[in-house]
Amino acid sequence: MLPTRSYLDHAATTPMLPAAVEAMVEVMGQVGNASSLHTSGRAARRLVEESRELVAEALGARPSEIIFTSGGTEADNLALAGVLDARRCADPRRARLVVSEVEHHAVIDTVEHLTRHDKAHVTWVGCDATGLVDAAALAEAIGGPASAADVALVSVMWANNEVGTVMPVAQLAQVAKAAGIPFHTDAVQAVGQVEVDFAASGADLLSVSGHKVGGPTGIGALVVGRDVAVTPRSFGGGQERQIRSGTLAVASIVGFATAIRHTVAEQATAARRLTALRDRLIHGATQVPGVAVSGPWTPGDWTTRLAGCAHLTVEHCAGDSLLYLLDAAGIECSTGSACQAGVPRPSHVLLAMGMPAERARGALRVTLGHTSTDAEVDAFLAALPGAVERAQRAEAATWRTAAT
């Protein structure tokens, strides 16, 4: 008989909110392409535009700034590649991207593709030991006025998807603005956990994903300021402000809008509850010998570390071993970004923070969400000591075998 499951991987995806499911099911029974001019098409268009208004209100943006995408990955790709192309067409010197070292792979892999195939250049911005990218580091990476003239875009995430560090986005955006450079932020993990206000932040572009806020997978948005030029990466109907073509997924958009409205409205209340759970989890886990917390941690605070994120490292063992042992005990978590699961190398985020590679191998990301309970935290804390002991024994045996 399988053990009771405790789902502690909300940063990878969080269960859909019942209200979002209900809203989607209702719309899925209706026919109509939102680009059609007949009655059914106009009804579908009305649902899309009402949803656009809800998403805009939740993010502190104008409805015209919301570009629906297939998710956060497409939004990040479109922001970097689209702005680079538009800015370079206007001024061929602008071929440099300034990007933090701790970004999600949706950003990092896009940058690496652009440097290999589109003759772009990149300046990586480092972080401190907690994963924080500060304004001084960004200003140094951009350089003086002569150097800034070749920068197409700055991209720094709002909150890190592994260790949960919350970035000083308004300060970073101001540095980019002072240099005359558009600023993009991946806010996929931040929305619903901290206050995200696009207009107040000073950002020019912002990425968000539906399945991180209790909506469906396969839907998200790129918020694009009205004065920002973005070259499209897909072509066809030009449905989204001529920036992104494709038949609009009406039901998914409605589910996304329903979820983000609810999640943002409940953000402060949820943050207090999740912070208490997170703090109890971190405190209990770090009582196990060899277990330490990664990133910033001040009990009771969710402004410097996401409320639902508890990132741990365990010495003398591999994170994958821990994951499988915990999974066998009914605990579902991860070793880092779900998009990189199964890749046997230390996290680029932890290495950028200055953590030794050997220690970074023992990473465990435990993330909480709207369905998380005290009982799930208790189950994790009960299973952790045994999993750590067995994983460390397995690691020691591997080294002994290798030595012979």
pLDDT over 90 (residue 282): yes
Backbone angles phi, psi at 345, to 5 degrees: -145, 155
Residues 6 or more apart whose Cβ sits within 8 Å of residue 135: 168, 171, 172, 174, 175
Distance of alpha carbon 184 from alpha carbon 107, whole angstroms: 10
Residues 276 and 158 in one domain: no
Mean pLDDT, residues 376-382 taken together: 98
Catalytic residue among 127, 309, 317, 339: 339
Measured CA to CA, the distance from residue 227 to residue 238 in angstroms comes to 18
Q: How many domains does the chain have?
A: 2
- pLDDT for the residue 251: 98
Taking the C-alpha atoms of residue 47 and residue 52, their distance in angstroms, rounded to an integer, is 9
198 occurs within a structural domain: yes
Return the half-sphere exposure (C-beta side, CA atoms, 13 A cut-off) of residue 116. 6
Could you confirm whether 89 is annotated as catalytic?
no
pLDDT of 109 strictly over 70: yes
pTM for the model stands at 0.95
pLDDT tens for each residue of 290-338: 999 999 999 999 999 999 999 999 999 999 999 999 999 999 999 975 5
Do 10 and 28 lie in a common domain? no
For 24, the domain range is 18-264
Question: Is residue 234 domain-shared with residue 347, that is, in the same domain?
Answer: no
For the stretch 29-71, pLDDT in tens is 999 999 999 999 999 999 999 999 999 999 999 999 999 999 9
171 & 248 share domain: yes
Q: Please provide the average confidence, as pLDDT, over all residues in the chain.
A: 95
In a domain, 248, yes or no: yes
CATH code of the domain containing 138: 3.40.640.10
